[in-house]
């Protein structure tokens, strides 16, 4: 009896110790200690970056509706040990492989590592983000133990590789990005919230909106010819210049999915930092006298014009550039619902509940892909710099064309509205208003700036369609 109790206690003790050991291995502390030199320090850097974004969103109030979800997504996935809980552990398991020296029999032993393909490639120093490169890197490690009867190696082979299917919450939410559902829905909400009247009243605004896409095409050739990106990658990077997060996600998902974290973060960050980026450029390219120019009140646009506009634009763009229709079509649908006056409930849903929900999910998902192992690289730094250049060039293009139009109309157009040609609606238009009122508190440019701003939204969607048609 005593022997039985002793055996039972010993078994229970061993089981408890094993459970405690498993608990310790599941903690983020163990993950940080174990993997600090490989990717743990990168996670800590990304957490610090997320805290900076928290500060900008909460204290400085730089577009908190965008920046705060992005920052939180970035913060939470970089907490050691959390990523695989949120996204699941889809990827590969690397095991110890015991090879009998005498017989050649292979036995799969203890687990060495697990993770996504990208994470394992980074961990083992694979030259490319491919399964074959990972296998080669693992094989290059060589034997980790041996004796007279067997040799132990680590390998990812047909005998040992396993695809893990324990998906987490973020995995399913991310499907909205993966299947390119969220960006068109965002455009639906933007259309339902936006008044196209200023653009219809002043069609010349289309010229400014088109000019603001200059940054896209200049950056495309720069990324292609100078930095050596492929045509598809250069197109995805260049679209940052449109200052439109949903469009950037949509194009990148189609052309260069592997660049999505860097491009999405860049696009949304620069949208949030519009006051910091655009104001110095606006002041540098315009004189105080130009900034004081007061524009005539826009004509009243009829209901018929507002209803006909989204229908006509959809038809023309659909005939010429079908690739742009998933974004532009949803934009026009949202606006048609608004201007028809007969879909109040649908408009309310598109403007509020649906838009807010998708904004939360999209922001968090964008941030959640910015893990240290993937984000902290020279390529990412290059993309961020190119994105900033594209954004600045878009602002410059709109301002210069607006200055030209000011000269041609003998001072009837304030050049400041040119900066609103980027598609960050209505943020860019508000900046035009703010800078104008710095020179003259009685100068109200908001509605005039909304024309180029709306034109910029349409222009960036068309530019996206062109890139997709060429390289998709």
* Residue 189 belongs to some domain of the structure: yes
Residue located via tokens 């495309």: 220
* Residue 18 belongs to some domain of the structure: no
pLDDT at 178: 86
| CB-based contacts of 26, cutoff 8 Å, min separation 6 | 81
Residues 122 and 185 in one domain: no
pLDDT at 266: 87
* Residue 454 belongs to some domain of the structure: yes
Output the CA–CA distances (angstroms, integers) from residue 355 to 66, 87, 267, 346, in the order listed.
Answer: 12, 24, 19, 12
> Residue 23: which pLDDT band, with cuts at 50, 70 and 90?
confident
- Encode pLDDT of 178-207 as tens digits: 889 999 999 999 999 999 999 999 999 999
Residues 208 and 125 in one domain: no
Output the CA–CA distances (angstroms, integers) from residue 20 to 8, 34, 327, in the order listed.
Answer: 18, 17, 52
The last residue of one of the domains, among 132, 155, 178, is: 155
Residues 243 and 331 in one domain: yes
pLDDT at residue 289 is higher than 70: yes
pTM recorded for the entire structure = 0.80
Residues 320 and 410 in one domain: yes
Residues 116 and 235 in one domain: no
Residues 135 and 179 in one domain: no
User: What distance in Å separates the CA atoms of residue 119 and residue 104, rounded to the nearest whole number?
Assistant: 31
The highest-confidence range among 26-30, 62-66, 127-131, by mean pLDDT, is 62-66
**Cross-sheet strand order for the sheet of 145-146:** 106-115, 92-100, 150-155, 145-146
- pLDDT average, residue stretch 133-147: 74
pLDDT at residue 105 is higher than 90: no
- Encode pLDDT of 204-231 as tens digits: 999 999 999 999 999 999 999 888 899 9
Q: Which helix (H) or strand (E) holds 47?
A: helix 41-58
pLDDT at 29: 83
pLDDT at 11: 59
User: What distance in Å separates the CA atoms of residue 196 and residue 205, rounded to the nearest whole number?
Assistant: 11
* Residue 216 belongs to some domain of the structure: yes
The last residue of one of the domains, among 155, 183, 208, is: 155
- Phi/psi class of residue 17: alpha, beta or left (left: φ > 0; alpha: ψ in -120 to 50)? alpha
Residues 349 and 390 in one domain: yes
Do you find a cis peptide bond into 426, omega within 30 degrees of 0? yes
pLDDT at residue 143 is higher than 80: no
The last residue of one of the domains, among 120, 155, 190, is: 155
Residues 101 and 214 in one domain: no
The parent domain of residue 274 ranges over: 170-471
* Residue 72 belongs to some domain of the structure: no
Residues 323 and 423 in one domain: yes
Residues 181 and 300 in one domain: yes
Residues 149 and 174 in one domain: no
* Residue 48 belongs to some domain of the structure: no
* Residue 40 belongs to some domain of the structure: no
Number of structural domains (the chain) is: 2
Residues 139 and 186 in one domain: no
| CB-based contacts of 257, cutoff 8 Å, min separation 6 | none
* Residue 458 belongs to some domain of the structure: yes
């Amino acid at each position: 009896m005593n022997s039985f109790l002793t055996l039972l206690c010993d078994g229970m003790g061993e089981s408890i110790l094993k459970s405690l050991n498993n608990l310790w291995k599941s903690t983020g502390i163990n993950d940080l200690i174990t993997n600090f030199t490989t990717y743990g320090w990168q996670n800590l850097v990304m957490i610090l970056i997320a805290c900076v974004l928290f500060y900008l969103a909460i204290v400085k109030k730089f577009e908190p509706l965008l920046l705060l979800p992005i920052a939180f997504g970035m913060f939470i996935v970089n907490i050691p040990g959390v990523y695989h809980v949120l996204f699941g552990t889809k990827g590969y398991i690397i095991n110890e492989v015991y090879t009998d020296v005498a017989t050649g029999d292979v036995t799969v032993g203890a687990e060495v590592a697990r993770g996504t393909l990208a994470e394992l490639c980074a961990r083992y120093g694979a030259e490319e983000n491919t399964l074959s490169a990972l296998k080669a890197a693992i094989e290059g490690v060589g034997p980790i133990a041996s004796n007279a009867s067997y040799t132990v190696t680590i390998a990812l082979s047909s005998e040992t590789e396993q695809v893990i299917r324990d998906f987490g919450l973020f995995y399913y939410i991310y499907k909205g990005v993966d299947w390119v559902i969220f960006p068109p829905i965002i455009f639906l909400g933007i259309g339902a919230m936006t008044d196209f009247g200023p653009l219809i009243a002043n069609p010349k605004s289309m010229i400014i909106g088109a000019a603001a896409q200059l940054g896209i095409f200049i950056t495309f050739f720069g990324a292609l010819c100078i930095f050596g990106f492929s045509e598809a990658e250069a197109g995805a990077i260049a679209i940052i210049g449109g200052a439109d997060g949903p469009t950037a996600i949509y194009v990148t998902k189609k052309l260069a999915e592997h660049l999505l974290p860097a491009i999405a973060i860049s696009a949304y960050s620069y949208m949030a930092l519009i006051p910091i980026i655009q104001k110095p450029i606006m002041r540098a390219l315009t004189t105080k006298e130009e900034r004081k120019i007061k524009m005539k009140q826009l004509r009243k646009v009829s209901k018929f014009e507002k209803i006909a506009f989204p229908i006509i634009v959809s038809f023309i763009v659909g005939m010429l550039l079908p690739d742009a229709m998933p974004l532009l079509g949803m934009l026009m649908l949202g606006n048609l619902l608004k201007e028809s006056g007969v879909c109040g409930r649908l408009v309310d849903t598109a403007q509020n509940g649906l838009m807010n929900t998708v904004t939360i999910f999209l922001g968090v998902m964008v941030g959640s892909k910015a893990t240290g192992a993937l984000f902290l690289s020279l390529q990412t730094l290059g993309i961020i710099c190119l994105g900033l250049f594209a954004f600045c060039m878009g602002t410059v293009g709109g301002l210069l064309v607006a200055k030209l139009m000011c000269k041609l109309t003998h001072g009837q157009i304030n050049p400041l509205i040119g900066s609103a040609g980027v598609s960050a609606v209505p943020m860019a238009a508000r900046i035009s208003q703010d800078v104008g009122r710095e020179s003259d508190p009685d100068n109200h440019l908001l509605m005039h700036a909304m024309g180029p701003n709306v034109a910029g939204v349409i222009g960036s969607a068309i530019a996206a369609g062109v890139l997709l048609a060429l390289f998709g």
